[in-house]
Structure 1
């Protein structure tokens, strides 16, 4: 009886059911994301150009201060789940045959503004802490004079300052793991079912815990797409970021059972 009541209470509170997915799921999500891009190119590419413009602006403003640029670029990745909100809505509208208009996606945050705001604050705090940690790592471990962009990349490719690289990427991995764990399905869930921020983040962590191998592959896929975008002087971000954003929506659909249903 107690277990039955607990199950009913959980359903009444709307706590989502997390499902297991296959190891090849990330490739299926990318294929569906590409399909969304092809079906809704104008609004999708609008967000892609926004991502590319942000990357170019960071590079331009901090051309000779790469201790700041690297932190901001990493922060760009930390905040990407929030910035891709419009892409999630495009995929959602396409599922419902509601068209591919850009305008409704620009203010989609209003649908669940309070909880999305809480989540944005969480990501913002993580970003600020990471930015400070990044500067500290540079100050303590970067031994050469700070070069321009080409010089900085050359040092990385030549594996100079190996101690710095190990510490920097180690610390960055900690922050990236935290953000990825709480954001795998959080915003899509908040947009789709008016979920509260805490439950959405717990469900996101649950999705990672239940599908560790698949989620690691998905995280690596996101990193590879982002790196490719930056290596093409941000031009690749125009296409790759919309595909990843749309794919994230489909990841949410696979990982979280619809409200009122059990695991598949």
Structure 2
């Protein structure tokens, strides 16, 4: 089923990927929940830390709607890197080991160079998206910027800014889809196998290409769960971010032989 992706092997030595059922992401969430319960204190510390950081960023951006929307969508871009410590917790748990919050960060040092490269790539992507977001606002939105509480109603729901909404969703969706395809298993693979970032991203692209149904379900679940985190003013993110992070580890173990 993945023969069309074997051409990548001319340039990269990639592991084989498995084909799974479209419903498999539900099992990843179940296994992620088990990992979170087994590492509850460390997992919730991650969730609380990034929830506070996210809240502060959103609070800073409340007077700048373009930056506010870019910050929310940008969270999905940097999420795979932010959850690296959670992958390490799941990796250790799978080996019958336990680790605390500080110890999980120490476990990342062994692959710090590749994680740094990947983090820099995501950072440049986030900066690029923020600039694209500002350009889209400048091109299609010419009114006085409204209060943020009315912005989504007046712009996204009123039907008066169709070109802006379509352009924003198409550009943002295309960028998010690309990052998602390249990051589904990338960071867990680097931590587990010590591979370079390029090989990990190409493996991730192959895994998505071979499992379009499961990838679509997984992407939808991530959007819904993280969206709930934002809808609860980051309170729900304390639990939902660790859940998605741990589940992502099991997605990697399931998809990559």
TM-score (norm 2): 0.91
What is the aligned-residue RMSD (CA, Å)?
A: 1.7
Q: How far apart are the structure 2 equivalents of 1:153 and 1:50? A: 27
Question: 2:46–2:101: 8 Å Cα contact kept in structure 1?
Answer: no
TM-score (norm 1): 0.89
1:192 and 2:186 correspond: no
| Cα offset, 1:122, TM superposition | 1.6
Question: 1:81–1:187: 8 Å Cα contact kept in structure 2?
Answer: yes
4+ runs deviating over 3 angstroms: 157-160
| Cα offset, 1:51, TM superposition | 2.2
| Cα offset, 1:80, TM superposition | 0.6
Q: How far apart are the structure 2 equivalents of 1:149 and 1:102? A: 36
Q: How far apart are the structure 2 equivalents of 1:177 and 1:248? A: 16
Q: How far apart are the structure 1 equivalents of 2:202 and 2:133? A: 27
Listed one character per residue, the Cα deviations across residues 186-207 of structure 1 (whole Å, up to 9, x for unaligned) are 0000000111111101000000
Q: How far apart are the structure 1 equivalents of 2:47 and 2:146? A: 29
Q: How far apart are the structure 1 equivalents of 2:183 and 2:120? A: 13
Listed one character per residue, the Cα deviations across residues 109-130 of structure 1 (whole Å, up to 9, x for unaligned) are 3111222222112212211211
Q: How far apart are the structure 2 equivalents of 1:191 and 1:72? A: 27
Question: 2:55–2:234: 8 Å Cα contact kept in structure 1?
Answer: yes
Aligned to 1:142: 141
| Cα offset, 1:102, TM superposition | 1.6
| Cα offset, 1:29, TM superposition | 0.3
* SS of 1:182 mapped into structure 2: helix
Q: Which moved more, 1:148-157 or 1:73-82?
A: 148-157
Aligned to 2:241: 241
Q: How far apart are the structure 2 equivalents of 1:182 and 1:255? A: 14
Listed one character per residue, the Cα deviations across residues 122-158 of structure 1 (whole Å, up to 9, x for unaligned) are 2122112111111000111123321232112322344
Aligned to 1:125: 124
Question: 2:78–2:126: 8 Å Cα contact kept in structure 1?
Answer: yes
Q: Which runs of 5+ in 2 are unaligned?
A: 1-5
Question: 2:229–2:237: 8 Å Cα contact kept in structure 1?
Answer: yes
Q: Which runs of 5+ in 1 are unaligned?
A: 1-6, 258-264
Question: 1:48–1:241: 8 Å Cα contact kept in structure 2?
Answer: yes
Question: 1:143–1:161: 8 Å Cα contact kept in structure 2?
Answer: no
| Cα offset, 1:160, TM superposition | 4.4
1:227 and 2:200 correspond: no
| Cα offset, 1:99, TM superposition | 0.9
| Cα offset, 1:55, TM superposition | 2.0
* SS of 2:66 mapped into structure 1: helix
Q: How far apart are the structure 1 equivalents of 2:171 and 2:198? A: 25
Aligned to 1:31: 30
Q: How far apart are the structure 2 equivalents of 1:147 and 1:58? A: 19
* SS of 2:108 mapped into structure 1: helix
Q: How far apart are the structure 1 equivalents of 2:193 and 2:135? A: 40
Question: 1:29–1:248: 8 Å Cα contact kept in structure 2?
Answer: yes
